[in-house]
Amino acid sequence: MPELPEVETVKRSLSGKLIGKEIRDLEIYFSGNIRRPDPLLMGEMIRGKKFLGIDRRGKYLIFTLSEDLALVVHLRMTGQLLYVDAAFPKDKHTHLVFSLSDGMELRYADLRKFGTFDLIPLSELPQLKGLAQLGVEPLSGDFTVQWLDQMLQNKNRSIKNVLLDQTIIAGIGNIYADEILYEGGIHPETIACNLTEDQVRQLWQATVKLLNLGIEHRGTSIRNYVDGDGRQGGFQELLKVYGRRGEPCVRCGSPIGKTMVQGRGTYYCPNCQPKV
DNA sequence: CGATTCCCCTGATAGC
DNA sequence: TGCTATCAGGGGAATC
C-alpha cells in the first residue's frame, strides 16, 4: 500500500511528465473517489488547467494547477496514478482519465476504491481536512531526536500506534512501521513514553534510514503498488519482518511473530524486539 | 486521553 | 464446481 516512499516515488515519476501539460478532458467511469467538487462539476472545473507542480505531504499528493487550483490525491490502499499513452489498454479498475495536451493520459485506477480526490482553490489547501492535521515530515529537518523524545514523553500508548498516527508523524504506514521497529530493536507494543533515551535514538535513526531506503528502492510492491510509469518497486525484497510470519529472523534465526496492534497485522522478531 | 469497532471495497485464499 | 467465510488495511467516525 502506498506509504511515504511509494507516494514520493509516484511524485518523482510523474513530475517530469505532467508539469507544463494541460488537461484537455476528464472522463469519469466511477465517481466515488471524488470528494470535491461534485463529480458532475469536476470536468468543467479542471478542463484547460495546466500542471504547475507536484508536491508530497505525508501520503498525500498535491498537484498545483493553473488559476490557483490544487488537486489533492490520496491513494489509500490500492490507488494508482499512471501516465500512459491513450492507446494503452485500460485496466478494469480505471475510474478517472485525464486527457493531456501531449496526447497522453493520466489515469487513476483503484481496486478497492478507497482513494480520494479533492479539487479545491489553492487558498483552501491549508484547511483541507486530513492534510491540515498532518504531523511532522519525517524526512525534513523538523524531525529530530529531540523532537521525537519530547513528543513521546506524554504518549501513553503503543509505539506502533504512535508511528501510524498521521497527525504526529506524516507518511508511515503498516509496512514501514513494522520494518522501522524491527530495525530499531523495539517491540511494537512498547508504551511510547517508556522508551529509553537509547531506544528513542534507535527509533529516530531507523525511521530516517528505512524511509530513505524505501525511496531508494522506489517503494514496496507487495500488493499492487506501481509508480506513474507502471513500474514496480523493489523494497519488498528487503523486508525483514513484514509478511514473514514463521520465517527465521535474518539477524537471530527466531521465527518472526505476528500480532494485532491497532487492528493491523503486526510482524516482529520476539527475540530482537523484546517486550519490556 | 486511549482503545475498540465499524465502515468504505474487492480479490486472494481456505474450508466445506 | 461453487459457495461462504475470512483476511488484507488508511483513515474517519462513533462508542466505550
> Mean pLDDT by 10-residue block, N- to C-terminus, for chain A (276 residues)?
93 96 96 93 96 96 97 94 93 94 96 93 92 94 95 92 93 93 94 94 96 94 86 90 91 91 89 88
A59 tagged catalytic: yes
pLDDT of residue A24: 97
Report d(CA A61, CA A79) in Å as an integer: 12
Note the pTM of the prediction, 2 decimals.
0.95
Please name the nucleotide lying closest to A1, CA to C1'.
C9
Question: How high is the pLDDT of residue A151?
Answer: 94
Strands ordered across the beta sheet of A104-110: A23-28, A94-100, A104-110, A79-85
Nearest CA to A110 among A70, A86, A162, A75? A75
CA of A167 to C1' of C14 (A): 19
Task: Round and report the angstrom distance from CA (A136) to C1' (B4).
Answer: 26
What is the spatial distance between Cα A176 and Cα A261, in angstroms, rounded to a whole number?
14
Number of Cβ within a 10 Å radius of residue A254: 12
Shortest CA to C1' contact from A59: nucleotide: C10
A2 has catalytic annotation: yes
What pLDDT was estimated at residue A263? 81
Q: What is the pLDDT of residue A261?
A: 87
What cell does A38 get?
A: 461534485
Torsion of CA A264, A270, A272, A275, to 10 degrees: 80
Q: Give the dihedral sign, CA A214/A215/A218/A220.
A: positive
A264 is catalytic: yes
Residues A137, A57 contacting (CB under 8 angstroms): yes
Residue A276: CB atoms within 10 Å: 12
d(Cα A238, Cα A161) in Å, to the nearest integer? 23
pLDDT of residue A194: 92
Q: What is the dihedral angle through the alpha carbons of A118, A122, A127, A131, rounded to the nearest 10 degrees?
A: 50
3-state class (DSSP) for residue A73: strand
